[in-house]
């Protein structure tokens, strides 16, 4: 599997670490439902919004949309948005 | 006596025409006392114990494909009780004791082989950790023995003891651990459940749940609606999807776990051996194939095939530990979809919906859990109260903090 990093271009999967579902970006406000945010998952068989860290590359936290049945993957984007 | 040497001989002469299927091809009735979703090891065992222990007369198992087509036939067949955390300890200890007499109980040759499980250690720290684990196992009433390097070498001389990076220092031996023929487990439970009147309904996928006022009254399936006030889910990697159809989310991510088998070789691996410094464990099947596996691919997948980096890692670990198997050719590899929980331990509990029960989160350990899981889940479905051996497998433990953190990595999804 290859992931297309917005900074580095196509790179081998081994350069990346999977961080979690992209819902992790939607941190609740203080007093919110942190248990659900941390632990509960949609866990879809199909398109999944998720986060990868380009650990052995540029170090950017990236957002991906990947089909969990086929691993079809669009080019990744910066999770924090473009600056 | 259904089977005997004479019967085998007689059937051999008449082309096997007298053999009968192990279970009926049941059609769904309109209503059941209890429905178990999932015709794998856990689901079939649950149905069997519902009928045997709790006397439920009308029980159905709904299976999307055919019996044994899921993870019960997609694992590395290992059984063991090597756990250290309260919750896991009493549960897996019970399960191993049940494995020991299960073939007699179900009158089916499960080829249970308590060949001994060796967990290798490669450093002083790892030795101390295994000594502690072994003590915990002994206190639980199971068996464990710490072997030094020479004692281990006498048992398994073919490891690369002196390789520079991960020298083998010894192992924790769990003599009662071993393997069981996995397909036979599904068939045996299916036959035994069927004999007690359980309807095993294959090619019947649950597409929805009939819910009103937070209670379940039945399920919608590809073979029509079926009513039941008690429904248990035992669908392994598909738990998240099915929970979604019932309108709630689970602390579960589905990941793929790979395993491999080589061509048949003469017997030489007489134990189950796990490498302590990489994700690799191996046993030799009765057919002679070396069966080995590794870790999950570390990103969610429903693809039922693994990625190459993990395959490469497993092969590297194999060559590091056992260079002798380097020329064996890999015949097959496969990936099973696991329902991974944040703390790596399972859930046998009520769901947010009254009458709907959960059996999920088996992570890496579903196969060895089958008998105890069936017993405990049947108890929960029949009585509404948790069985003592599974009382800690609660859904709300991520709320309360009462984790069963066997690996010591915390409740962190992406680490399991």
Rounded to whole angstroms, how far apart are CA atoms B29 and B31?
A: 6
With respect to residue A34, please indicate whether it lies within any of the assigned structural domains.
no
Q: What is the pTM of this model?
A: 0.95
Chain B residue nearest residue A12, CA to CA: B309
pLDDT at B104 exceeding the cut of 80 = yes
| DSSP-assigned letters across all residues of B169-225 | -EEEEETT-EE--HHHHHHHHHHHHHHTT-EEE-S--EEEEEEETTEEEEEEETTEE
- B414:A18 CB<8 A: yes
Tokens found for residue B4: 């005997």
- Residues on chain B touching A21 (C-beta within 8 angstroms): 253
Compute the nearest-CA separation of A82 from chain B (Å).
Answer: 25
With respect to residue A65, please indicate whether it lies within any of the assigned structural domains.
yes
| DSSP-assigned letters across all residues of B314-361 | HHHHHHHH-GGGTTPPEEEEEEEEEEE-TTS--EEEE-SSBTEEEEE-
With respect to residue A13, please indicate whether it lies within any of the assigned structural domains.
yes
With respect to residue A61, please indicate whether it lies within any of the assigned structural domains.
yes
Q: Which of B238, B298, B303 sits opposite A18 (nearest CB)?
A: B298
pLDDT band at A80 (very low <50, low <70, confident <90, very high): confident
Q: What is the CATH number of the domain that holds A11?
A: 3.30.2270.10
- Residues on chain A touching B301 (C-beta within 8 angstroms): 68, 71
Q: Which of B250, B299, B303 sits opposite A18 (nearest CB)?
A: B299
pLDDT at B164 exceeding the cut of 90 = no
With respect to residue A62, please indicate whether it lies within any of the assigned structural domains.
yes
- A41:B399 CB<8 A: no
Q: What is the pLDDT of residue B1?
A: 55
φ/ψ (deg, to 5) at B406: -60, -35
Chains A, B: CB contacts within 8 A come to 67
The end-to-end CA distance of chain B, in Å, is 47
Q: If phi over 0 gives left and psi between -120 and 50 gives alpha, with beta otherwise, what is residue B330?
A: beta
Name the domain count of chain A. Answer: 1
- Residues on chain A touching B251 (C-beta within 8 angstroms): 39-41
With respect to residue A53, please indicate whether it lies within any of the assigned structural domains.
yes
Is B298 touching A (CB cutoff 8 A)?
yes
Chain B residue nearest residue A70, CA to CA: B303
Segment B12-47, tens digit of pLDDT: 999 999 898 999 999 999 999 999 999 999 999 999
Interface test with B, best of A14, A23, A41, A54 (most B CBs within 10 A): A41
Q: Which of A20, A35, A69 sits opposite B302 (nearest CB)?
A: A69
Is B216 touching A (CB cutoff 8 A)?
no
**Nearest partner of B410 among A9, A39, A78, A57, judged by Cα:** A39
Q: Are B44 and B67 in contact (CB under 8 A)?
A: yes
Rounded to whole angstroms, how far apart are CA atoms B190 and B106?
A: 10
pLDDT at A82 exceeding the cut of 70 = no
Work out the average pLDDT over A24-52: 95
With respect to residue A40, please indicate whether it lies within any of the assigned structural domains.
no
**Nearest partner of B379 among B347, B341, B345, B349, judged by Cα:** B349
Q: Which of B253, B309, B399 sits opposite A41 (nearest CB)?
A: B253
Q: Which of B250, B251, B302 sits opposite A45 (nearest CB)?
A: B302
Segment B343-392, tens digit of pLDDT: 999 999 999 999 999 999 999 889 999 999 999 999 999 999 999 999 99
Segment B307-355, tens digit of pLDDT: 999 999 999 999 999 999 999 999 999 999 999 999 999 999 999 999 9
Q: Is the ipTM of this complex over 0.85?
A: yes
Tokens found for residue B313: 């890692």
- B398:A39 CB<8 A: yes
Rounded to whole angstroms, how far apart are CA atoms B335 and B274?
A: 19
- Residues on chain B touching A20 (C-beta within 8 angstroms): 413-414
With respect to residue A83, please indicate whether it lies within any of the assigned structural domains.
no
In this structure, of B29-38, B247-256, B293-302, the range with the lowest mean pLDDT score is B293-302
Task: Please give the residue range of the domain that contains residue A59.
Answer: 2-27+45-78
- Residues on chain B touching A45 (C-beta within 8 angstroms): 238, 241, 254, 302
How many Cβ atoms from other residues are within 10 Å of residue B388's Cβ? 12
pLDDT at B2 exceeding the cut of 80 = no
């Amino acid at each position: 599997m290859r992931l297309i990093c917005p900074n580095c271009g196509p790179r081998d999967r081994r350069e990346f670490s999977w961080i979690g579902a992209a819902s992790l970006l939607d941190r609740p406000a203080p007093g919110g439902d942190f248990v659900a945010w941390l632990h509960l998952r949609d866990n879809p068989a199909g398109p999944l919004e998720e986060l990868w860290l380009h650990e052995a590359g540029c170090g950017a936290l990236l957002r991906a949309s990947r089909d969990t049945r086929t691993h079809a993957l669009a080019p990744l984007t910066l999770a924090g948005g473009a600056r | 006596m259904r089977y005997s040497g004479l019967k085998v001989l007689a059937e051999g002469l008449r082309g096997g025409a007298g053999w009968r299927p192990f279970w009926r091809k049941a059609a769904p009735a309109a209503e059941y006392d209890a429905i178990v979703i999932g015709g794998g090891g856990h689901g079939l065992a649950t149905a069997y114990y519902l009928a045997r222990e709790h006397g439920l007369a009308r029980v159905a198992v709904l299976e999307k494909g055919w019996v044994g087509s899921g993870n019960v036939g997609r694992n590395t067949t290992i059984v063991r009780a090597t756990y250290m955390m309260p919750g896991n300890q009493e549960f897996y200890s019970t399960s191993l004791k049940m494995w020991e007499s299960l073939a007699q109980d179900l009158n089916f040759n499960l080829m249970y082989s308590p060949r001994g499980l060796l967990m290798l250690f490669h450093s002083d720290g790892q030795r101390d950790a295994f000594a502690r684990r072994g003590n915990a196992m002994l206190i639980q009433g199971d068996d464990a023995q710490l072997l030094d390097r020479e004692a281990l070498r006498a048992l398994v001389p073919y490891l690369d003891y002196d390789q520079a990076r991960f020298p083998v220092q010894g192992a924790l031996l769990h003599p009662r651990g071993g393997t069981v023929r996995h397909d036979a487990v599904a068939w045996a439970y299916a036959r035994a459940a069927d004999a007690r009147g359980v309807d095993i309904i294959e090619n019947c996928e649950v597409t929805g749940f009939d819910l009103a006022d937070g209670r379940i009254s039945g399920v919608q399936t590809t073979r029509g609606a079926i009513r039941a006030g008690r429904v248990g889910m035992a669908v392994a990697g598909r738990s998240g999807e099915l929970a979604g159809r019932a309108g709630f989310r689970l602390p579960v991510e589905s990941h793929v776990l790979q395993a491999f088998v080589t061509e048949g070789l003469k017997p030489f691996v007489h134990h189950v051996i796990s490498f302590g410094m990489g994700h690799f464990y191996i046993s030799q099947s009765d057919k002679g194939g070396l069966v080995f596996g590794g870790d999950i691919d570390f990103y969610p997948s429903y693809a039922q095939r693994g990625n190459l980096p993990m395959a490469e890692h497993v092969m590297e670990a194999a060559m590091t530990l056992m260079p002798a198997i380097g020329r064996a050719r890999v015949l097959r590899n496969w990936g099973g979809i696991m329902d991974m929980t944040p703390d790596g331990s399972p859930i046998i509990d009520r769901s947010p919906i009254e009458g709907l029960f959960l059996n999920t989160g088996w992570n890496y350990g579903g196969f060895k859990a089958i008998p105890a899981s069936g017993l405990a889940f049947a108890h929960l479905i029949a009585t509404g109260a948790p069985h003592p051996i599974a009382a800690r497998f609660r859904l709300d433990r991520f709320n309360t903090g009462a984790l069963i953190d066997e690996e010591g990595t915390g409740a962190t999804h992406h680490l399991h």
